[in-house]
Structure 1
């Protein structure tokens, strides 16, 4: 093989077909070699394999990652180390950072981590470069298929959720205590709206959700809404705990009467969302000041707007999207994104500095 293409599982044949069309009849394209999903082997005798890789990267969106094979050796740690050192000598400079990315397919007496550690130590010794597992300037890939190992250089970049200098929002979202009016309507609408609101507040992991009674409502409506909110929170929380590589905050839910809640939170920042307020990014400096507090209370209506008498007790009234009345189930996402955008513009959010580089 000259090039290894990684694609989404189940897309191997589609990717292979597209690659064959792009490269022409001289190319040999094999989807799911050895039955391994998400892989396409490409070989084009007599062609420049780097030119092939670049063409695939430019023309084939199904190709998530394109790797140029520099060495093929038996799947033995000593052979892999030797091959990786040869490739690294011409690929990695002393002022670069690198990481070894090993994927192992088949049964072996060693693990992927074993290869990463052994090869990483050898490459560091011969190049003098530092290891950076998060954002290496020169990653080196070891792709193992049963008895064969391919040492590869990527022709496509790496994408990561959290990169250095990216703003961190979670700590500020955790300061938010949302006051949400009860949604009224037929039972099915109340249930669906409650579940969507619950999923939204859990998605952003806000500090607290307070269901507010701003007028007499049927007890059944309150019960349905509160139960649906908690079901939405639980549903999203279960997904987060399975997929996140960090602890997840489960949003607590309380019930309070609107005016008593406003009195109870006297002395704390209170933000009201209403079209009559200032556009959220125009109030960014004031928002930055308010978020210096330990808890920031944010009031959201439902069908009915927030009573204007409460405005006098608010630290700030903000409009999330001028000229648009936001549907109740979209307010929490719009609010979270608007607040974080404004705080970022104000230069308030801390930055991700990355894990410490290995020397």
Structure 2
């Protein structure tokens, strides 16, 4: 093996056809070797493998990760350790950081973690480099296929959701208590809007979602809307709990009369969203002050805006995007993104320092 290319499952043959055009007739290109989906193996490149790897990275969109194979050994942990140390001596300097990334395919008397730990300790001792599992400067990949193991160097960078110096937003978003006016219309429109609002609130894991009434509406409209909001929250929550590697805050839902809701939050920050307000980044310093508090209450209209009399009691009236009236189901996502941008520009968000964060 000279190259191991990782693709999305089902894209192996397509990627292999493009790669074959690049490497020519002298090399062998194997999509899904031994039935392993998401893998293309290239053989017979010789000393030109790095040049071909760079060419694949430049030309083949279907290639998600390109690994240059530096050593191939028997799938024995001692053999893998020895080979990895030899590669590391050529690839890793004492001032670098590194990590071992192991993927096993087949049955073995060791786990991927066993390989990572043992090989990582040996590489650290041999090179003097430090381990950094999150953002290593020089990652080493160990790709195991049944009885064969390949020690590889990546030709493409790693992309991670959370990197050092990225702003952390979740604790700020969990301070937001949303007061959402009831959406009125025919049953189908009310249901769709309620589900979207519920999903949006749960997506950002806001502190709470209060459904607000300020006038008489049909009982059926309120029931359909509430049931839809609850369904939206639940559907998004189930996805989050399955896919997130951390605890998920489920957004509680309540019902208030608008004016009593505002009175009940007296003394707490109150923000009204309306096109007549100030552009959100123009009041970023004020928003930073408000988000220093434990809870920030935000009022969102639906078809009808928030009654102007409420403005007098608001700390800020914000316009999320001048000259555009945002559809009701887009307000929560737009609001959360705008708040994040404003708070980051104001220097009010902490930054990721390379360790897990505890969320309130």
The answer for the alignment partner of 2:351 in structure 1 is: 351
Structure 1 gap ranges (5+): none
Following the alignment from structure 2 to structure 1, what is the Cα–Cα distance between the partners of residues 291 and 105?
49
Residue 19 in structure 1 maps to residue 41 in structure 2? no
How far apart, in 2, do the equivalents of 1:45 and 1:327 lie?
55
* 1:45–1:257 CA distance, 2 compared to 1 (3 A): closer
Matched residue count: 356
Looking at structure 1, the residues matched to 36 and 255 of structure 2 have their Cα atoms a distance apart, in angstroms, of: 52
1:207 & 1:355 partners in 2: Cα distance? 24
Compute the RMSD of aligned alpha carbons: 0.9
CA contact (8 A) 2:2 2:46 kept: no
Deviation at residue 214 of structure 1 after TM alignment: 1.2
- Counterpart of 1:312 in 2: which secondary structure? helix
In 2: Cα distance, 1:286 partner to 1:34 partner: 60
SS of aligned partner of 1:121: helix
Q: Do 2:195 and 2:228's aligned partners in 1 also have CA atoms closer than 8 Å?
A: yes
Deviates most, 40-49 or 314-323: 40-49
In structure 2, the partner of 1:190 is: 190
Q: Which residue of 1 aligns with 2:318?
A: 318
The secondary structure found in structure 2 opposite 1:48 is helix
Separation in 2, partners of 1:68, 1:355:
30
Q: Secondary structure at the match of 2:168?
A: coil
TM-score by length of 2: 0.98
CA distance in 2: counterparts of 1:337 and 1:35, whole angstroms? 43
Distance in 2 between the 1:323 and 1:336 partners?
19
Match of 1:95 in 2: 95
Counterpart Cα distance in 1 of 2:47 and 2:124: 32
Partner of 1:284: 284
Partner of 2:293: 293
Q: CA deviation at 1:18?
A: 1.1
1:9 — aligned with what? Answer: 9
- Once the 2 structures are TM-superposed, how far is the Cα of residue 14 of structure 1 from its aligned partner? 0.7
1:47 Cα deviation after fit: 4.9
What corresponds to 1:175 in structure 2? Answer: 175
Name the counterpart of 2:75: 75
- Could you tell me how far apart the structure 2 residues matched to 1:199 and 1:166 are? 25
Relative distance call for 1:207 and 1:279 in structure 2 (3 A) is: same
1:45 CA displacement? 3.7
Partner-residue secondary structure (3-state), 2:288? helix
Partner Cα distance (1:275, 1:22) in 2? 54
Distance 1:228 1:157 in 2: 42
SS of 2:89's equivalent in the other structure is: helix
The TM-score with structure 1 as length reference comes to 0.98
**Which residue in 1 is equivalent to 2:50?**
50
**Deviation for aligned residue 1:27:** 2.6
Residue 271 (structure 1) shift: 0.3
Q: Does 1:341 find its partner at 2:338?
A: no
| Aligned-pair CA distance for 1:46 | 4.4
State the 1:12 CA deviation: 0.3
Show the 5 A alignment for 1:85-164.
85-164=85-164
Distance 2:113 2:261 in 1: 54
CA distance in 2, matches of 1:233, 1:201: 7
